[in-house]
Amino acid sequence: MKDFTKGKVSTLLIRFTIPMVIGNIFHNLYNVVDSVIVGNFIGKEALGAVGASFPIIFALISLVVGVGSGASTVVSQYFGAKQNENVKRTIDTIFIFFLLSSIVVSIIGIILAEQLFLLIQLPEEIIPDAVIYLQIYMAGMFFFFGFSGLNSILRGLGDAKTPLYFMMAGTIGNVILDFLFVVGFGWGIEGAALATLFSHVAAFIGAIVYLNRKHSIIHLGIRKYIFDRDIFKSCIRIGLPTGFQQSFVAIGMMAVMGIVNGFGTNAVAAYTAAMRIDSFAKMPAITFAQALTSFAGQNLGAFQDRRAKKGLFTTLGFSLAYCVVISVLVIVFGNGIMKLFTPDAGVIKIGQDYLLIVSSFYLLFAIMFTVMGFLRGAGATFIPMLTTFIGLYLVRIPVAYFLSEKIGVNGIWWAEPSGWTVGVIIYIIYYFSGKWKGKVVVKEQQNQSENVD
């Protein structure tokens, strides 16, 4: 656990972020390796199936994960206020929510898999593999939500190292099982999905065993959990807008995928591979924003607003410097990286165009995510939700439809930075308005208690 309310800001953020970056590198590296194995040893149809599954998986889990992020903010604010009993009650409450949610999400994903792919007009030759992959993946939702919940809670407590260790172990195990099941046993797309499922199971169980033995606050197992309605309301108030925001993103991704699907299997496979590279490249900027959420949450919970703002501008500097470097690397080496995923020249060309266009605007992405991370830490999650809705549904998707008809598949890629531009403008205006102040859970409860007295 790490107390962010004292110490040098830049040092704290770097030390907290580095383990998270390494963990996310391993996670995204798995996604890359998984796609490389699928694309080279099964085929571009299977590569497209994995890629088409992602926005649907994201759509199904986004609301739950969003509420979990709200719990992370609540944990960080209670921890900053030194209210450890409320930290424990928050952990209990959110795990009850995750357990019930995992059952519902798994049932929906397994039963409606084929209908969901038909909805986004996935090419017929890809649908059978996509259905198999999605159904197996959704069978492990309890373990996925459980591990995701632990990560959120630990980040709220300022602990980024423990999730790193289990993320690394799970990722390495996943890659080994990928090679074993797909290359060794020849199980095809089923093998890729089973490798992911088994790695989620192992990571969650391993984390539970370790934390029960070593952690002073987190103790999970077969026992009576306390569901605190007031705390859950706080998690909902903060997390539900983030959940809706993630749902907007997920549904928007499905809409974008539907546009891509209209350009055939090559475009779907290229989009899958290029998104893997793109996600890998943007990941440190996203991770800095996640770290800032915990940092801002603790300091605002301790009423250190000036220190929280310093964390914002420090994080922004780190993210912008990183994005300058990664943009150059992706532009220069994009073609060579695409060749790792598939030998198909048509797929490589489409993917290279995507990377060239999108990576040129990573600076905008860094600004948008950094300010959003700060606002989440403050508990001001409605504006990020609204901004995502505007950026996606009023800008990116209409622009993608329009430009794809005018200039082809590249028009879809140009639509993404247009959405970022609008998002940056809205976030900057809202931040300087100061309306995000007063959203902290601890402050609200103090005001309530004063009113009662």
- Indicate the pTM of the whole model: 0.70
Taking each helix axis from N to C terminus, what angle separates 84-111 and 229-261, rounded to the nearest 10 degrees? 40
242-283 pLDDT, tens digit per residue, is: 788 788 888 888 899 889 989 998 998 999 889 888 988 898
Q: What is the pLDDT of residue 221?
A: 66
106-126 pLDDT, tens digit per residue, is: 999 999 999 999 988 888 888
**What gap in Å lies between CA 291 and CA 308, rounded to an integer?**
12
CA torsion 226-232-234-235 (nearest 10°) is 110
Q: Which of 26-30, 225-229, 308-312 has the lowest mean pLDDT?
A: 26-30
Q: What is the pLDDT of residue 2?
A: 64
Asked whether residue 202 is domain-assigned, the answer is yes
Residue 437 scores a pLDDT above 70:
yes
Asked whether residue 3 is domain-assigned, the answer is no
Please compute the mean of the pLDDT values over residues 356-361 and round it to a whole number.
95
Q: What is the pLDDT of residue 439?
A: 58
Residue 1: pLDDT band by 50, 70, 90 thresholds?
low
Q: What is the pLDDT of residue 441?
A: 57
Contact 126, 104 (CB under 8 A): no
More confident residue, 364 or 145: 364
**What gap in Å lies between CA 308 and CA 292, rounded to an integer?**
9
Asked whether residue 2 is domain-assigned, the answer is no
More confident residue, 350 or 28: 350
Residue 47's nearest CA partner among 334, 337, 331, 275 is 275
Please compute the mean of the pLDDT values over residues 219-239 and round it to a whole number.
80
384-397 pLDDT, tens digit per residue, is: 889 989 999 999 99
Q: What is the pLDDT of residue 452?
A: 32
One-letter amino acid of 162 = T
Q: What is the pLDDT of residue 446?
A: 43
Q: Any idea what the Cα angle at residue 277 is, between residues 178 and 376, rounded to 5°?
A: 105
In the chain, the number of structural domains is 1
Residue 451 scores a pLDDT above 70:
no
Asked whether residue 323 is domain-assigned, the answer is yes
Q: What is the pLDDT of residue 189?
A: 92
More confident residue, 233 or 452: 233
Q: Which domain holds residue 317?
A: 9-443
Asked whether residue 119 is domain-assigned, the answer is yes
Residue 104 scores a pLDDT above 50:
yes
Q: Phi, psi at residue 26, to the nearest 5°?
A: -65, -40
What does the longest C-alpha to C-alpha distance in the chain come to?
A: 72
157-180 pLDDT, tens digit per residue, is: 777 677 778 878 888 888 899 999
Asked whether residue 229 is domain-assigned, the answer is yes
Residue 405 scores a pLDDT above 80:
yes
Please compute the mean of the pLDDT values over residues 374-388 and round it to a whole number.
86
Contact 399, 418 (CB under 8 A): yes
Measured distance between the N- and C-terminal CA atoms of the chain, rounded to whole angstroms: 34
Asked whether residue 448 is domain-assigned, the answer is no
**What gap in Å lies between CA 31 and CA 37, rounded to an integer?**
10
Please compute the mean of the pLDDT values over residues 147-157 and round it to a whole number.
78
Q: What is the pLDDT of residue 449?
A: 36
332-345 pLDDT, tens digit per residue, is: 998 999 998 888 89
Q: What is the pLDDT of residue 442?
A: 56
Residue 450: pLDDT band by 50, 70, 90 thresholds?
very low
Please compute the mean of the pLDDT values over residues 202-215 and round it to a whole number.
82
Residue 60 scores a pLDDT above 80:
yes
Asked whether residue 453 is domain-assigned, the answer is no
**What gap in Å lies between CA 337 and CA 329, rounded to an integer?**
11
Residue 220, Cβ neighbours under 10 Å: how many? 18
Please compute the mean of the pLDDT values over residues 296-310 and round it to a whole number.
85
